[in-house]
Structure 1
């Protein structure tokens, strides 16, 4: 793989990350605002980037803003708000054509940076507040998104698992916010929150592509310097122990397929020494079609429509998902627990270990082959305050041994079982 070079510069109220590469036809600019998750702010943060991308002072309508982007040779803008552990991250992305590939004399990178600055720092404001019509439209869109997630029973079950498992932790908070908050959001209140975000959030700026580094530093300084009160880092108490007796939550709805989701505490975070072994553990346990959950719960016993696991790098959680017939709860639950016990005893072959490590390496290589994927991988380091290159990560994964996977498995403890079943289903404990 091509060596990835990231140059970090601490600017005035921001951290600049430059990743030079001649591999891509576009330059990618990503702006990330980060703050701890709070119940008071989460709905505002979920709504805000979508409002900002609709209009600015210079481009007061969505049409005029899209036209301006099109004139930058089809620059592509995207936004979102995401939860990374107990951080809430608001992201703005722009892809701009590489000037070197255009016959005309252009400076698209400069124009693109200025455009993104306009979108973030020069919103359309009227009478001390953001545009009410835009806010109302985006509130309706967000409401539909929240309801759609509630109607998607797999997503609903995962949300409810975290509600129960992390009941007294910020991680329980819903990334898209809460429908009951929306009537209280208006132009003035959102603008006030927006101003506090600009002042207080930690700001990371990524540029990946073919560019002049000195020019970029000057350009970013002129556009994004701010008198910020933001801390360079903040402490989050993210590691929690599983209870001595795991919780069991059973919920009944009008559903045909039961959703059996289990939440474990791994006691391992991104940047910990045994994080690489956790990646391999998850691959063997439930991360791939060759994993124990898929092969035993779904294939061998035909108990699940799907069965898989994933882990949350910045929170220390391992989540198991399965869709089952409501009457098969106890059998499916027992088989999932048996797969965990098998991992704790090291019941997997050397061939399975090596195959899983290769799958993880290939997955990572595929991720960092794409601009946005590479930036997300690099941002993990910022969130954890560690310094590990993708190349080092790959080497560490390749070195993981059977004993290290077993040690990780024995750190993992069941916290909560959540079962969404049919209204007439059998009692889960029957």
Structure 2
């Protein structure tokens, strides 16, 4: 899939032409240093902007216009990437080839998208109090729903302990305890800061004329030059003298075990591809050694899997266990890691892990968001555009010795258990 990266006025535009989809996808991203002081402001801002524009003053009016434009969809979100807070706005609009007659929707959809980002509805020069209050309520409900999920709650508690002196302890979704401190005026200042100072990226995926898209984007989006020094990996770390072991209690029928490892390999590293293969073999695939050993062989858990946080340099293991069996499960998980580090896995295990990684790569190209995410990852961290076939070749080239080296470099940081008191 051919693509181009173009520098326009104050931002970069990634074009990915493809005829695979019946829709075109546009994403506009604003990135600023992640910090606690702006955490809630940036968590709320995209949703306040989606609440109404000067031309379409309510969510209902925006949705009506989207429906009029053949089911156009506009969304927004916030995430943490490395040391950056990333606010994203997305537009999905049907390809005009599939519309009846001479119907034209892309320009009108892009105008609506521009209005959401650049023409918010204001009252007396600021965001409306009722809208801000409503979005605070919705965000609080979303955060509380996460805490009601015991597995998610246990993971967040482990993260808070493991990274207690690092920015990674904060969730980009927001901090419930300080949400009520957000004011319309503070939110407006955060909005202005975003437009004036953030590092900006735009991506367009779909079937289009390149000249037409560049002209359409250039007419609607223009920014003043700003420093281009985003930090896409999180290098904050600490010296681990001994792993932390933490047990907390709650109303749970199934204990939740969370284990955090530090790893030296981050996204952008030459060792990244061997790391994702090692991660898949260890616990991040359906046929991983953790699953086959801890669950299937020893029956120590209801579920177990690992996840590699590439931007942070961490691996997290999650398991649901019978209360009272967490210690045995944790010991077995560590034993499996040592087993892989010593080379006690078969060539078939390695081949299956590679197949899992490659399958995941191919599946990402089946969605517009997946394509945008892959290109953003490589635009930010590698000196080449995303290339599926090249990446598959790099995965296939991973050796047993490289997998052993990656797993041997795991450093156990935190073991966290959420269980009931009578366990």
Instruction: Give the TM-score taking structure 2 as reference length.
Output: 0.96
Aligned to 2:417: 419
1:68-90 Cα distance to aligned partner (Å, 9 max, x none): 11111110122211122332211
- 1:233 is matched with which residue: 230, 233, 237? 230
Aligned to 1:96: 93
Task: Indicate if the aligned counterparts of 2:84 and 2:232 stay in contact, CA closer than 8 A.
Answer: no
- 1:402 is matched with which residue: 377, 380, 400? 400
1:142-170 Cα distance to aligned partner (Å, 9 max, x none): 00011111121111111111111111211
Aligned to 2:124: 127
216-225 or 201-210: bigger deviation: 216-225
1:259-280 Cα distance to aligned partner (Å, 9 max, x none): 1111111110112111111111
Whether 1:201 and 2:198 are equivalent positions in the alignment is yes
State how far apart, in whole Å, the 2-side matches of 1:243 and 1:129 are. 47
Which aligned pairs between 1:68-107 and structure 2 lie closer than 5 A? 68-107=65-104
Aligned to 1:428: none
Alignment partner of 2:325: what SS? Answer: helix
1:308-363 Cα distance to aligned partner (Å, 9 max, x none): 00101111110000111221122111101101101111111001111111121111
Task: Indicate if the aligned counterparts of 2:32 and 2:230 stay in contact, CA closer than 8 A.
Answer: no
Whether 1:16 and 2:9 are equivalent positions in the alignment is no
- 2:359 is matched with which residue: 362, 375, 378? 362
Aligned to 1:147: 144
State how far apart, in whole Å, the 2-side matches of 1:413 and 1:359 are. 25
Aligned to 2:373: 376
Which aligned pairs between 1:232-271 and structure 2 lie closer than 5 A? 232-234=229-231, 238=235, 240=237, 243-271=240-268
Which aligned pairs between 1:258-407 and structure 2 lie closer than 5 A? 258-387=255-384, 388-407=386-405
Q: What is the CA distance between 1:106 and its match in structure 2?
A: 3.7
Cα separation, partners in 2 of 1:95 and 1:214, compared to 1, 3 Å:
same
Task: Indicate if the aligned counterparts of 2:262 and 2:410 stay in contact, CA closer than 8 A.
Answer: yes
1:286-322 Cα distance to aligned partner (Å, 9 max, x none): 1122111111111111111110001011111100001
Task: Indicate if the aligned counterparts of 1:49 and 1:90 stay in contact, CA closer than 8 A.
Answer: yes
Whether 1:218 and 2:223 are equivalent positions in the alignment is no
State how far apart, in whole Å, the 1-side matches of 2:33 and 2:413 are. 24
Task: Indicate if the aligned counterparts of 1:161 and 1:261 stay in contact, CA closer than 8 A.
Answer: yes
State how far apart, in whole Å, the 1-side matches of 2:226 and 2:104 are. 33
Instruction: Give the TM-score taking structure 1 as reference length.
Output: 0.94
State how far apart, in whole Å, the 2-side matches of 1:284 and 1:14 are. 39
Q: What is the CA distance between 1:47 and its match in structure 2?
A: 1.0
State how far apart, in whole Å, the 2-side matches of 1:165 and 1:382 are. 30
Moved over 4 A (4+): 234-237
Aligned to 1:185: 182
State how far apart, in whole Å, the 1-side matches of 2:63 and 2:208 are. 25
Task: Indicate if the aligned counterparts of 1:252 and 1:422 stay in contact, CA closer than 8 A.
Answer: yes
Task: Indicate if the aligned counterparts of 2:234 and 2:311 stay in contact, CA closer than 8 A.
Answer: no
Task: Indicate if the aligned counterparts of 2:81 and 2:311 stay in contact, CA closer than 8 A.
Answer: yes
Residue-pair matches, total = 422
Cα separation, partners in 2 of 1:235 and 1:211, compared to 1, 3 Å:
closer
Alignment partner of 2:319: what SS? Answer: strand
